[in-house]
Amino acid sequence: MTKKRKKILIFGLLIVLVVLVSISLYFINQFEKILYFPPITPEEWCENQPCIQIKFFSSTLILVQPTSTFIVYLLGILTIIIGIYHLKVSRMQRFVELWGLALVLWGLGALFAGTSYQAFSYEIKCAGRGSCIWTSWWEVMYLIFSVGSVDAMLLAQANLIKKEKYYRVIFLYSVINFLGYVLIVVIGSVVPIKILITFELMIVFLAPTIGYFILFNLKRLRRFKQTVDLYLLLIWVFLIIIMGAYFLYFITGITEVLWEKGIWFSENDVLHIGLIAWILYIGFIINKVTKSNIKMISK
């Protein structure tokens, strides 16, 4: 079996695994046992955040944070479109293909997150319950897709080096990292263990990879002094700045102050608007790298 076929087989098996895990978690999760503390009733859900009622045939749906929903769905759809575009124009270039895959996964994660954290959070977490549940299948899938996306980015970066042994190590790490995280999420969802399916734990899994990206691009920039390497480095610097802005906005409590004045703009909006700009920048940089004669570390 050729190396290319082996990699296609591995990616195919990973896709099948994600599908099977997704279907299994949908039916065997124990999210009903993880409630907010202190508890939040369905009546309280819309007391501190914007909700609107939408007539859907003979039913009435409650849409939560409509403006935030628009922003996060825009992020997801835009990211998927850019990802599909790069998959289409990759011309079998692994760097471009993997970045395209990473963006599609990131976009899907954004759609899953927006569905449960914003748009239909009431319908998913509260409707028909005495107390609202803390998380959902949609949010867990967001966590899995996000880690898978960053691991695909890692493989894309590894393709800038003509060193097969190095690439195999990175490939193995990315697969183990992803499978390990999926296993942890499954345990957290089924047992259930809240800390294993938190956003914070996902960040712990992503942080070493983001740190590696920065060191990798810094090394290339110092060695080759190419502008393209600076552009790649800025991808991760911008992401850190965006995350910093999100947490700063969150801890200062600006969201609550604005909501009391009828201005529905939250820390999530800061994050998603920043990520829209980030995704557009990534699309620009991938095209630039593809068209440039970027040097690669020799064997």
The Cα 82–Cα 146 span in angstroms is: 16
Distances (CA, A) of 276 to 40, 124, 137, 263: 32, 26, 24, 21
- Enter the pTM of the model: 0.92
| Domain 38-291 CATH class label | mainly alpha
The H helix count followed by the E strand count for the chain is 11, 2
Map 37-97 to HEC letters. Answer: CCCCCHHHHCCCCCEEEEEECCEEEEEECHHHHHHHHHHHHHHHHHHHHHHHHCCCCHHHH
The Cα 271–Cα 222 span in angstroms is: 31
Map 213-249 to HEC letters. Answer: HHHHHHHHHHHHCCHHHHHHHHHHHHHHHHHHHHHHH
pLDDT tens for the chain, residues 1 to 299: 566 666 667 777 888 888 999 999 999 999 999 999 999 999 999 988 899 999 877 888 999 999 999 999 999 999 999 999 999 887 768 888 899 999 999 999 999 999 999 999 999 999 999 999 999 999 999 999 999 999 999 999 888 876 777 888 898 999 999 999 999 999 999 999 999 999 999 999 999 999 999 998 898 888 888 888 888 899 999 999 999 999 999 999 999 889 888 888 999 999 999 999 999 999 998 887 777 655 544 33
Helix segments in 159-226, DSSP class H: 164-190, 199-224
